[in-house]
Structure 1
């Protein structure tokens, strides 16, 4: 693969990470949160092609047809949780759980990087330079996540409490979108 092809692939793979980061940034944009989400999304996007390449065609066959259901389940559950928590914690002093920590962070990182797993199989079959491709994919996803969170923060400060509920609906919507190839 040429460098341009790898960059275009990385941009395409970063779209889900950007979308989720935009929504998370609506309510969570402290420097540590920016770093955590950007780092983990980039790391997962960089490592998933390695897992896909190592597992090869057998892994692709094992997940064939189910990867979108896994992504749907994770995103829909996290989105519903964000929506519910934003409504439940309507008081002025109650905080919404931080999706850049714990299992929420791992779930979002996995859900936004499942496409990269299949790409890894393709990269291995095409005998592409896997380390170069993974580095570009990871850096691109990390930067896209950072930009998404920063943009979300700009909108989030203006939108107030409604941002959490809206964000949950958007993440759940991304999960539903996963059901349709």
Structure 2
């Protein structure tokens, strides 16, 4: 997987975290440096940790299913992407109102939000095992990209409101679906 592909994947994965960070920013009256850094750290750490867990799990059985690994990657990325697109097309007010109920960046609240936004990354880690991706640089890169995008989301949410939240999630879903198709086409050698 090239650095560009990894960047696109990291951006796609971070869109859920971005959407929640926008809601966090929306709920904060005044932002200090602590707010975006805290949100970015929670989301970045979880977005890096979940693919690592998925990679470890996927490595256990990747050799047994190497003949269909490209189909599994395609299905996982496609399912995650389609789910993100579907979520983006739903009414977004509900999600922001749930996040706004607890405006503090409490440990319990942030752990739940970080876990909820990083579940998709677990499946990506399984895909990484099938594609034999160098996992430590990959998850580090995903964590840093998610940190930056989430921190920016807090500022954007506070400044612009929820205007861009669903567009970001929709874009992230499209990116993941396209990446799934690319992996499938490469492994099937359709354009070789």
TM-score by length of 1: 0.65
Runs of 4+ residues deviating >3 angstroms: 76-83
CA RMSD of aligned residues (A): 3.3
CA distance in 2, matches of 1:155, 1:52: 35
CA distance in 2, matches of 1:80, 1:121: 33
TM-score by length of 2: 0.62
Q: 1:38 aligns with which of 33, 40, 53?
A: 40
2:182 corresponds to:
none
* Structure 1 gap segments, 5+ residues each: 86-96, 157-165, 175-181
C-alpha contact (below 8 Å) 2:54/2:122 kept by paired residues: yes
1:123-165: CA deviation from partner (whole Å, max 9, x where unpaired)? 0111101111101110110000011111111135xxxxxxxxx
Match runs of 1:37-116 below 5 Å:
37-56=39-58, 81-82=98-99, 85=101, 97-116=102-121
CA distance in 2, matches of 1:25, 1:14: 16
Match runs of 1:1-181 below 5 Å:
1-28=1-28, 29-56=31-58, 81-82=98-99, 85=101, 97-155=102-160
Q: CA deviation at 1:31?
A: 2.0
* Structure 2 gap segments, 5+ residues each: 62-75, 88-92, 170-192
